[in-house]
Structure 1
Amino acid sequence: MTEQIRLATCTYQEFAPDMGTPVRTTVGHPRFPLSYQLGGIARSVTPTRHLLKIEAEDAYEFSYRRLLNDRGVDLIREELTAIAGANDLDVPVVLLCFDKLSKPGNWCHRTHFAKWWTDQTGEEVPELGAVPVPAPPTPPALFEF
């Protein structure tokens, strides 16, 4: 039987220690002081610098899912379980990044990871920060005759 781990996602800025064990999933370190100590770095879910250059969300998600598939659920689960075991197994491992989802149309790798993880394992990964806000609709194009 596969060991189940409780996961959640949030931003560095919105995270509070009562949410769980904070874990870095970003290529770079936070450039601002944190009011809490990180419980680890989840390198297996960290995107590559190459991925950070992709601006179209669908292209990014395709490439990021390919990266996650290459790394595999077992390796990712093993790393996240080790982080949980080194901290507190009774609380979620909270995967952190910078992008606030309250900005209309904003997205980030943590939301794509959460969807991928649920697809692969059936285990939900709740967002603990602001709820995603959809981008405003694009106005219809005007045609000139």
Structure 2
Amino acid sequence: MTEDLRLATCTYQEFTPDMGTPVRTTVGHPRFPLTYQLGGIARSVMPTRPLLRIEVQDAYEFSYRRLLEQRGIDAIREELTGIAGANDLDAPLVLLCFDKLSKPGNWCHRTHFAKWWKDQTGNEVPELGSLPIQAPPTPPALFEF
């Protein structure tokens, strides 16, 4: 049941165990030592290697959403529910990848997955890592006489 399945997203680097159960969603393994144990691997959420070659965000999101649709919401929900059941059911599953969103222009499959999941289930998937730094608002121009 999706109402009971709590999801969040983060980077491997920013994740801390108090956030929930860490779940790998990347094609590649982390190439650095983790200070925590992964609770599972969500293969149904992973992009494909050819998808990773797409550098234009709109094209990537279109192709990734199409991939998620092919895999199907029921299969994805079943896999994620199985991972949750093998871990702490009260903790959210935190879907991990490498890309830090705090870098201007960065995006990744986890943000596109979060939007797709909300479209499919109505449930939000919060980002627990650093978000893009917003530029401060420009003060109104002062008139000089």
Amino acid of the structure 2 residue aligned with 1:108 = C
Name 1:117's counterpart in structure 2. Answer: 117
Check whether the contact 1:42–1:79 (CA below 8 A) recurs between aligned residues. Answer: yes
TM-score normalised according to structure 1 size: 0.90
**What value does the CA root-mean-square deviation take over the aligned residues?**
1.4
Name 1:39's counterpart in structure 2. Answer: 39
Structure 1 pair 49/134, CA: closer, same or farther in 2 (3 Å)? farther
Paired residue secondary structure (1:9): strand
Q: Which runs of 5+ in 2 are unaligned?
A: 136-145
Bigger Cα Rg: 2
Q: Which runs of 5+ in 1 are unaligned?
A: 136-145
Amino acid of the structure 1 residue aligned with 2:105 = G
Name 2:14's counterpart in structure 1. Answer: 14
Query: Once the two structures are aligned, what percentage of the paired residues are identical?
Result: 84
Check whether the contact 2:2–2:77 (CA below 8 A) recurs between aligned residues. Answer: no
Check whether the contact 2:22–2:93 (CA below 8 A) recurs between aligned residues. Answer: yes
TM-score normalised according to structure 2 size: 0.90
Check whether the contact 1:105–1:133 (CA below 8 A) recurs between aligned residues. Answer: no
Paired residue secondary structure (1:96): strand
Amino acid of the structure 2 residue aligned with 1:33 = P
Check whether the contact 2:20–2:93 (CA below 8 A) recurs between aligned residues. Answer: yes
Size of the aligned set, in residue pairs, is 135
Cα displacement (A) at 1:131: 1.1
